Structure 1
Amino acid sequence: MQRYLVLCMALLAQVSADDCPGGEACEEGNTCCKVPSDGYECCPMYQAECCEDHIHCCPEGTLCVVNESMCVNGTVSLPWVERVSAKQSIYPKSFRMISANAGDEDDNICPDKSHCPEEFSCLKATTGYGCCPVAHAVPCSDGKHCCPEGHQCNTDCSSCIKQTEPVVAVMCSDRESECPEGTTCCETPDGSWGCCPMPKAVCCEDKIHCCPEGSTCDIKQSKCISTTNKEMPMWAKFPARKRAEWETQNEVAQVTTPIPDTTTSANRSPASLWEGTSPPFIRTGDVPCDESTACLDGTTCCKTQEGGWACCPLTQAVCCSDFVHCCPHGKKCNLAAQTCDDPSGFPSEPWLKKVPAMPREGKLLGDVTCDPTYMCPDNTTCCKTASGDWACCPLPEAVCCEDHEHCCPHGTTCDLAGLTCDGPSGSEPMVGKVQALTTLAPDHEEAATDQQGVQVDDMELPTKDDKDVPCDESTACLDGTTCCKTQEGGWACCPLTQAVCCSDFVHCCPHGKKCNLAAQTCDDPSGSPSEPWLKKVPAVPREGKLPGDVTCDPTYMCPDNTTCCKTASGDWACCPLPEAVCCEDHEHCCPHGSTCDLATLTCDGPSGPEPMVGKVPALTTKAPDHEEAPADHQGVQMDDMELPTEDDESDEDEELHRTQCDAHTSCPKDATCCFMKSTQKWGCCPLPQVSVTVMVSAEQLVLLRSVRFRFDYK
C-alpha cells in the first residue's frame, strides 16, 4: 500500500516539481518518502522504494535489505541511497472541514438547514454539508477538505493550488479511472487502466510498458526506439486512480461551448428561452452534453439530481450544487439566499432555473427509422418503393406488398389481383403508402414538424388537387381518405375511403364496419371476426396556406406568431417573434416595443438591452431525382407526387408545350422550374411563372407536407 501511494504521488506534476502529501516539494524525477515526524523527504530516484529506516531508499524494482544496507532483487545487489531534505511547497495546505450543526441565528444556513459559523462557508461534504473556515471557499473532491476561492485542491486534497496553475486529471476511456496531468492512460493486461508517466505516450502491446511519444515499442528487447533510431528504456505503468461512486454523484458536471467572437451570448436574457415551446432539434453549434443529449448554442449543460442533463441559458455558466439552478460565469451560487454572488463585491443577482435538455440528431421518440436518412411516424411501417426509396404504410408492423405501392395489416397477405388483403377475417381493401420523411440534416435550416410532432424536412406546403377530399373551405384530405371531425372541432383524415368515423374522435373503421370503443376494434355486423381500428392522421390545409400564417406578399408567407422582414436581397425572411421590429441591417429583429442598436447588436427596451434575434432563412423544396409510384386504384396518393398520365394523345400535346428546366429536365405546361439548393436538382412548382419559398423557424414549428409534382427526365 505504501509503495502504491509513493508511485502515485511521485508523478502528480511532471512539468515542474513533485508535490508531497505533506505540502513539501521534491525535485522533478524524485520520490517523496515519509518520515516519522509526519513530514516528507526526497529520494533522488524516480519511483523509488522508501526504506524502513526512514533515511535511505532504493531504485524501482528492488527491495531494501536494512541489515545489509543494500537494494536487491533477483539479479542485482546495489548499495542504498540516502534521502535528501524536501523543499517547502509554495502551495498552502487545504483546510479540514468541520461538521455543520444546529448553530445560532447569525450563522450561515446550509441548504439542508444545518448551520455553519458566520465566517465559515457551507460546502457539500461526503454526507450532507460541512463548514470550511474560509468565508468564500471551494470543496475538495474527498468531501473533507476545502480551499480558498480562487484555488483548487490538488489530487490528494492536501494542498490548495491557484487556478492559474491547475492540476487536471486525465480521464481514461472507461470514464471511471483517471491519471495525473502529464501522464497517459494505458490499458493493463487485466482490462483495467494504468498511467504511463509521460504525456501522449505510446502504449505497448504487452499492456505492461509504454514508450515516449513518437517512438515504437520493441517488446522483445524491452526498449523504445525513436524515429532517429535512438534506443531508450521502456517505462512501466502505475495503476490509475479509480473514482469513487459518490465522487461522480456529487460532482456538478458541466460542458460549455466557447463564446463566439462576434456575439455577446453570455449576456443573453433567459426570459423567453424555450418558454412554452417544445425543445428544438439539435443543429450545428449546439452544445453536446453526451452522446444522446444536447443544449442550444450559447447555453451550458448541467447535471440533474437524477443523473440526466438540463440546460442553463448562459454560456460558461456555473452549475449550482442543488442541481436545479445556475449562475453566470464568474459568479458564485448562494444556496441560502438563492442568488448569484459576485466575488468582487458587486450586488447579487437572482439565479436562473435550468430547462430540460433535448434529444440529439432530430429524431422523435417513437419514430420508425427506415435508414439513416428516412423515417416514418410512430405506428407506421417503412416499405420500399419501386424506385428504391422509402414510403410509409399507415399501419404498424404491416406487410409491404410486392407492387411497391400498397401494404396490408399484420398477419394478412397481399392479393395483387384483387387489390385486397386476405386474412383470417376475410378480405379487405389494400392500403396505399405515403411518402417517407427525411431526417433533419445538421447543416440545413430547421425543419418543421406536423401537429403530431412528425418532422417534415425540405417540403413545400400542399396545394389543392382536384381529387382531394374537401372537409370544409380551408381543409382537405388526400384522395382515397375520409374527413373525420376531431374533438377540438378541426379535421383529421382516415386512411380509408368512405370510412366510419368513431365517436372517440381519434379512430376510424372501414366502410360497413362498426366502431367498438370498448374493445378498440371494428366489428362486422354480419358476424365476421373483428379487426383493429385505424388511427386518423391530421388533415392538410387547402390552397397551400396554414390557418394563422402571416402573409408577406402574394408569394411569401411566414408561420403564425412570426413577422415578415425584408432581407438585403429584397426577399423575405421570418423573424421568430410576433409583431417584431425589423432591424435596418436586414439580418436581425427585435421584440415589439424595442429598438435595434446595431452597434452593440442588442434590442433596447424598457426592461434593458437584450441580444438581437436572427431571422430564419427560407427552406427549399426537395427536388425529385426519380419517378415515384402512381396512386392506387382507390385514389390514395402513394408518394404525394404524380406521374404523367397514360393518355398518349395528351402526352404528345404536352411534350410540345413543356417547360424546359435544362437539357435533361422539364416540367409540365403552366408549371415553373425551381432549382433546389439542398439537392442541386430541379423541381416543378404547379403554378405558372412563380417562385414559392416557404420559410419556417425552429422556434415556430409549422405543418409542412410535400407538393404533388409532375415530372420526368428527357
Structure 2
Amino acid sequence: MKTAVLAGVLLVLVHAAYSQEVKNVICPGSASQCPDGNTCCKLASGEWGCCPIPNAVCCSDHTHCCPNGYTCDTSQGTCTKGDMTLPWETKNVAQPIKVEAVICPGGTSQCPTGTTCCKLASGAWGCCPFPRAVCCSDHTHCCQRGYICNVAQGTCTKGALTLPWETKNVARPIEVEAVICPGGTSQCPTGTTCCKLASGAWGCCPFPRAVCCSDHTHCCQRGYICNVAQGTCTKGALTLPWETKNVARPIEVEAVICPGGTSQCPTGTTCCKLASGAWGCCPFPKAVCCSDHTHCCQNGYICNVAQGTCTKGALTLPWETKNVARPIEVEAVICPGGTSQCPTGTTCCKLASGAWGCCPFPRAVCCSDHTHCCQNGYICNVAQGTCTKGALTLPWETKNVARPIEVEAVICPGGTSQCPTGTTCCKLASGAWGCCPFPKAVCCSDHTHCCQRGYICNVAQGTCTKGALTLPWASKSVARPIEVEAVICPGGTSQCPTGTTCCKLASGAWGCCPFPKAVCCSDHTHCCQNGYICNVAQGTCTKGALTLPWETKNVAQPIKAEIVPWSSKTLAFTTTGVDSVVCDSSYQCPDGNTCCKLASGQWGCCPQVKAVCCSDGIHCCPNGYTCDVSAGTCSKSSAPIPWVLKNLALPDGFGDVQCDSTHQCPTGNTCCKLASGQWGCCPLPKATCCSDQQHCCPQDTTCDISEGKCNKKDEVLTWTTESLALLTLGNIKCDDTHYCPEGNTCCKILTGTWGCCPLPKASCCADMLHCCPNGYNCVSGQCQK
C-alpha cells in the first residue's frame, strides 16, 4: 500500500471545547476574573493576569505561563516536560468583575439580575421582579413564571392558586462600552482591536490588542505574527488560522456636545481644548485634559507633561493625542448591491418581493418567510411566529421596506480621474479635477476651496457659513488618474475604469457606464445599475417599484499597453435562434464572443472576438495574443499581467447550481466565496476554490497561490490541528456538556478536556495535540496510510 508522508509538520496547541455553561474563573480577592479555561496568575504590577490555559503553571517572571505538568524555563522562554518543549504563553490583564444584568431586546436597556424585561405602555422596557416572568397585556403588571395574568381581577392565577400581580419598574439605560478607533468616527466592541481595512475604513479584529495583518483583511492574536503567504498566524512553532475583520460601526456623535454648541465629539470621548483654541476629542470617556493642549489621559490618571505619560500610583501609560472635533453626519446601513439603505442599528433582510427590508435590530437573523426577523443569537420559529434561544421565546419583528439611496461614485466626470470614497469631485482652476474632503460637498467659485454639505462658500471671508455657524473652508487636493487596465472591452483595443462596464455607443465604439456589471440600454447612450431595467420611454432605470435616473456613458479609452489579462470562459447556452456566435447545432455564445471548449468537454464562451482558446480548457486571450498557461497571462511581448477575478453569482432563478437560498451559478460552474463575502462562480464543475478567494482550479487539483497555478493532488497529507470548538447543541457530542461542530471529531487534549479535530471520523493522535484523516495513522509526527 502506498505510504503518505507528512510534509512540514506544524506543532500547534489546541483549545478546549466550550462547555454548555460558560463560567468565568474568579481570581483571589473576588475583584478580578478570567475567561473559562484560563488560570489566574499574578503580574509584575501586583494585579491578576489571565493565562489562556486551564490549571496552568505561573512562571516566575510574572508575565508568562505554561500548561499543567510543564516547567517554566525562563532562560529559554519555553515550557518543558521531559523531551517535549513548547513556547510559553503571555498572560492578559484580568477583567474587573461587574454586576451582571438582564439585557432587554434592542440592547439599550437593562434590568437587575433575576428580573424579566417587559414592554411598558410607553413602548419603553420595564423590569418585572421575577426571573422568566409572564408580562401582562396591560403593559404595567406581571406575574411569576407558570401563572396567568387575570387582568379583570388584577391577580395572577395558577389553577386554584391566586397571587396579587406585580408592577414593573422602568429599565435603566445601558452605557455601551466600546473601543474607539483613531479618528473618533468608528468603534469596535469591547475586547476587540481596531485595524485598517483595504478600503481605508476601520475594521474590528475579534481579539484584544491584536496584530493587524498587512493584507488589510485579516489579523492575529497578540504575540503572533501574520504569515500572509500561508494565511495563518505563527508564534514560534505554533500555527493558528488567522481571523477576518468585521467592519467597524460608525459612532453616533450627537451625544457629546462641546461647550459653545458648535463642535461635537463621538460618544465615549471627551471634549478638550486644543492649542488653537478649537475643541479636540480625547478617545476616553470623562478623560483628563493635559495642560499642553494636545494630549489627554484616562479618567483617574494624572498627566505627566515632562515624561509624556499618564500615571496612577505605580501604573504608567502612554498619553493619547486628541483629534479635532467636527460635525458628523449619521451614516446608514448600506444593503448589498448599494441601492438601498436602512437606519443605523438595523439589519438589511430580503423581502418576498426581492427588494431589501430593514429589521429593527443590529446583526439580526432574517427569517425564511421573508417578512419577519429575530434578534442576533435567536432562531426563527416560523411555525409559531416567534424567536427562540434555548428556553427563551420572544415575538418576532416585521421588516420595513428599505429606502433607495443615491449611489455615490468616486469617479469624476469624464472617467479619467478619481477621488477617495467620502470625498467630492470639484473642478480646479486648471480645468483638472480636484477632491474636496467631504461627501456631497459644495465646490466654491474660486476653484480652489470647498465647504461641507449644507454650507455656503463665503469667498470674500474665506469661510463656510450655515446660518450663524461659521467654519474655515477646505482646500481641494488634485484627483488621481484612474488606472483603467482592469476593465478591457471586447476586441482588446478599448478600456474602461475599474468598477465600470463596457457598453457599445451609437457610433459602434465602446463607452463606459459608471457601474460594475451594468445594464447597457438600447439607445446606445445610457445605462442602468446591475439588476435594473432600462425604461427608454421614461429615461429611467426600474427594479420593481424602485426607479432611478439612468446614466450617460463616457467614451472608452484606447489601450496603449501590449498586455491584457486573460479571460475566464462562461458556459455556452442552448441555441435560441437569436443573432449570436454558433458553437454547434445545440450551443451558442453571445455576439462578440468566441466558442472555446472547456476542460469538461462542454462549450464555453470567451468574451473576446476571434479569441485564442488556451490549452488549460479554462481561459482565453484576445486575438493576436499568446496564452502563457504557466503564468496565467496573455502576452504579446515579455510583459504579462495576472488573470481576472471570478464573476458574482446570479440572483435566484438565473442559474442551476445552487450556492444558497438566493444565489446560483450557471450549469457546469462551482460556487466559491469571494473576498467580499459574496458568492462567485468558477467556470468549472466541482472545482477547487482557492484560499485567495479570487481564483479556482479544476477538480482533483490544488491551488498554488504563490505561483498562481493549479497543481495535481498527490498522496502527501499534512496532519490537522484541533481548532477551537463552537458551542452548538445537537452537533457532534463529546460528553454531556461538550460539543464540536458538524464534520468534526472529539479528541482529548493535553489539559484533559475535549478538543475538536476539523475532520469527520478522524484519528486522534497520541500526543493529544494533532489528528489525522479517517484511514490514516499518526506515526512520528506524520499521517501515514
Which structure carries more helix by proportion? 1
Which fold has the larger relative contact order, with Cα–Cα distance below 8 Å and residues 6 or more apart in sequence? 2
Q: Normalising by structure 2, what TM-score?
A: 0.24
Which structure: larger Rg?
1
Which structure carries more strand by proportion? 2
